[in-house]
Structure 1
């Protein structure tokens, strides 16, 4: 069976690449080992799919080459994808920080992508292991099919229970493409036994500023039985390296707050002051960590300032992450130095493309990774259509 392109992976990037190429006249085959398309889309955003973000900009992405994503993102923007969503009559809403979700179900996004593929006469084969890939005379042979173009759209190994694998890296190695070491990203962090006090308040969440080095995100953090999670922690986890310290700001104006509490209720204790601004269980844990047993009125302002430092700069040294099983995405992947930023084609292997999460481009939490999937998929789809003529 001859095609113009074979796309490996029926996720967001693969399906939109297939639809783009197919609607431009290319004969496209999509292969996936899973029994259904778009499995990660279906579970995203609590089942409502955070399909893009209004605030998408290149600086919202991590990569060894921070400039690589600019081309694709500028040529297929969040507004382009939103226009597609609206063309299909899919109702949507904006949550916090520019995040756009379906009003209904994430299934609407999968159905839309499949409809777009049908418009391009794309053939989709599911439950089809990729197996060996042959490459000779300018054509790729996979699972009994042949084409001059092959697209790696198999994602990364995050969320293996959804069928995610490291297949993209095996294929990259097969064709001599270098990798940036893959690692879990947007992932909860684990704490050691010395932080048991905070692990014991599992389920407590509060607004914070989470910081690693000079990178900070202001969102909620969640204490878990294993360590730290919540949007702010997931965000900084992508930038965190083993051995580094995570810093949480729980109360921005802590010094002023404690001094005011001392004047207003001098007989009260530290826990009472903290509980005015923080969840009770967290206030208990912090009061125990501070270790101050005197009434507020007996504590000097200088001593209160020392306690306030913990509230503005509570430091943790995570022992690790919860791994790919809990990671929303994978950082690292196929080195962008191997690819054209315009077409996503490998510079050293004519006809080989890599898109989406398989590539060393990782977005922030909040729809950014889907936008990269759409943008990189369209870039490759257009390039395939152009070469198939």
Structure 2
């Protein structure tokens, strides 16, 4: 027996639940199929369990995509203020951290409960623990699971990307997109720690040390903390830059962003009997300062060092070149870059141009946000765009 709906949504994550709520509240008969035993699993672990549910400054410039203009329409029509109004309507207390990041005061469970309540308001049917065996397209879409077959004229792909596989994440969205002839931009880990090898292995010796830096990859620079790990580099600045980094390319780190371009020469003039190592220890954690000083190879008092050598050291500290040998992969990536090509979709509705009735939203699409609530805002905005177009 085949059960019929107006819309079937695959995935009960942030984008899928938002889309379902909007569609259901438009009096559509909506079915959400979720592979996991419960909805919103990635929401629950986000922000240390407090859910960094949006960023008040989110705009198209905070997203990476083969088409940087694609996200403009959805983000303009459903803004961080719109989601914040929903949060406040449910009485969920929140606070703003650095750089516009908004978190729940309590628990991420409140965001999941809110989304489920919104779905209930639209009489959305949610079925968890459903393993999808096949998806077929004829007059409409038929989805078969271990519990039966379901059909609808509209289908929404909202199963996310393969980041954090221990949460059950897979590349199913991309496989399904390809099945329907949609181009897929090669998926890769994003917001992910970078690994170091070769001569740079010595930086692993200071695992646990962090410092405020500016990390730059492919011209995109981020001023936040970097953290040295037993495998390489992490911390917010590195995670941000990792989305722009490509294998084989350099990563540049400014270790002294608060210092002027010739600060060592200025120090030589004012404190000629001070050493480079001492100055670095004033600017950075001691263990990091010592490694950098050793690599610079400038011993003795500043007054005895040539200006050219100090100028070169300033330049190197402001643009220290690392050559990461890889990333920690999807297992440690917060999100996936790449995905179903935006060239295949309407930026207004998220509907596939070649397959009427097929939609893709959230992380399934080649739109990747920065760290700090931006990916959730894309989930809400793309979910609403599709939900109102179904």
Is 1:85 the equivalent of 2:87? yes
1:20 counterpart residue number: 22
Q: Is the 8 A contact 2:273 2:301 kept in 1?
A: yes
Question: What RMSD over aligned residues (CA atoms) do the two structures have, in Å?
Answer: 1.3
Number of aligned residue pairs: give it: 384
Q: Give matches, 1:1-389, under 5 Å.
A: 1-143=3-145, 144-252=149-257, 253=259, 256-263=262-269, 265-384=271-390
1:73-112 Cα distance to aligned partner (Å, 9 max, x none):
1111111101000000111111111111111111111110
Q: Is the 8 A contact 1:254 1:309 kept in 2?
A: no
Alpha-carbon distance between aligned partners in 1 of 2:300 and 2:164, rounded to the nearest angstrom: 49
Alpha-carbon distance between aligned partners in 1 of 2:332 and 2:78, rounded to the nearest angstrom: 29
1:14-49 Cα distance to aligned partner (Å, 9 max, x none):
001000000110011111110111111111111111
Alpha-carbon distance between aligned partners in 2 of 1:139 and 1:251, rounded to the nearest angstrom: 57
Deviates more, 1:160-169 or 1:260-269: 260-269
> What's the secondary structure of 1:187's corresponding residue?
coil
Alpha-carbon distance between aligned partners in 1 of 2:23 and 2:335, rounded to the nearest angstrom: 26
1:311-345 Cα distance to aligned partner (Å, 9 max, x none):
11111011111110111100100011111111111
Q: Is the 8 A contact 1:254 1:312 kept in 2?
A: no
Alpha-carbon distance between aligned partners in 2 of 1:139 and 1:230, rounded to the nearest angstrom: 43
Q: Is the 8 A contact 1:140 1:149 kept in 2?
A: no
Q: Give 1:258 shift.
A: 2.3
Q: Give 1:260 shift.
A: 4.2
Q: Is the 8 A contact 1:6 1:30 kept in 2?
A: yes
Segments of structure 1 that go 5 or more residues without pairing to the other structure are 385-389
Q: Give 1:263 shift.
A: 4.6
Q: Is the 8 A contact 2:132 2:143 kept in 1?
A: no
Q: Give 1:309 shift.
A: 1.7
> What's the secondary structure of 2:346's corresponding residue?
coil
Deviates more, 1:47-56 or 1:256-265: 256-265
Q: Give 1:243 shift.
A: 1.4
Using the size of structure 2 for normalisation, the TM-score is 0.96
Deviates more, 1:248-257 or 1:104-113: 248-257
Using the size of structure 1 for normalisation, the TM-score is 0.96
1:387 counterpart residue number: none
> What's the secondary structure of 1:297's corresponding residue?
helix
Q: Is the 8 A contact 1:254 1:311 kept in 2?
A: no
Q: Give 1:256 shift.
A: 4.1
Alpha-carbon distance between aligned partners in 2 of 1:96 and 1:287, rounded to the nearest angstrom: 31
Q: Is the 8 A contact 2:36 2:168 kept in 1?
A: yes
Alpha-carbon distance between aligned partners in 1 of 2:286 and 2:280, rounded to the nearest angstrom: 8
